[in-house]
Amino acid sequence: MANLHISTLPPCPGRILVIGDVHGCVEELETLIEAFSPGENDRIIAVGDLINRGPDSRATLELARERKIVSVLGNHEQRLLQAWKAGNPDLLKSKDLATFNALQEADWQWIENWPHVIRIPSRNLLITHGGFAPGIPWQEQDPGMVTWIQVLDNKGVPRKRSDAPNGKPWANQWTGPEHVIYGHTPRPHPLRHPLATGLDTGCVYGYELTGLSLPDWDFYRAHARRRYVDD
């Protein structure tokens, strides 16, 4: 099994804005950033899935570079990246092809270097896309699994919600000690657990793009311009 790619960030002298799943909703991302109004000492981090499904993945990556956003790898980046590395778009679903064809070499090389986990020891935080399975040190978890886990089935096995409709959220059983900020599980409102916060509020489905500001733990929201895809 490959090792997790972990990026440890030094203390930030300003604020940190952690942004939920963007999925190419570049106008909403710009609105959210403007509402946050970052200063030169502030930092913006994304929980992955900056691209795919929404209106303009290429422009989203351009804005992310311009604003010096750092991101973890989401399941959508992971899937498209595997096809790019293999040089085989036939590995993808048909609805992935527009994004795959729009991205350029520099985009792929950038995404290839995104970590699976961003660690911020000064705030006792972990940022990842999907989450973690309980009972295993987070540093030893499967790199693919942390991009797609949503629930645990009745045997405690990591699953997607579609594979275990009666599964329990992994975050309910996460005991820390770090607080995890994650995406990938869309809900109309942020998911709050004792030691985890879910920020995917389904912008691409017509809801909102959400950001969480630290250290004050305030939420910023940008309403979706429209519904881009069905659930």
CATH number at residue 98: 3.60.21.10
> According to the 3-state scheme, what is the secondary structure of 144-179?
CHHHHCCEECCCCCEECCCCCCCCEEHHHHCCCCCE
C-alpha closest to that of 217 among 169, 181, 175, 172: 181
Instruction: Please name the residue that has the structure tokens 């930030």.
Output: 12
Query: Cα(146)–Cα(132) distance, rounded to whole angstroms?
Result: 6
Confidence of residue 230 (pLDDT cuts 50, 70, 90): confident
Q: Which domain holds residue 50?
A: 6-223
Confidence of residue 103 (pLDDT cuts 50, 70, 90): very high
Total domains present in the chain: 1
Q: Is residue 229 domain-resident? A: no
Average pLDDT over residues 33-42: 97
Confidence of residue 1 (pLDDT cuts 50, 70, 90): low
Average pLDDT over residues 77-88: 96
Query: Cα(227)–Cα(205) distance, rounded to whole angstroms?
Result: 5
Please check the confidence at residue 54 and state whether its pLDDT lies above 90: yes
Q: What is the mean pLDDT of the chain?
A: 96
Q: Is residue 64 domain-resident? A: yes
Which tokens go with 216? Answer: 């004050």
Query: Cα(83)–Cα(93) distance, rounded to whole angstroms?
Result: 11
| pTM given for the model | 0.96
Per-residue model confidence as pLDDT tens digits over 145-174:
999 999 999 999 999 999 999 999 999 999
Q: Is residue 230 domain-resident? A: no
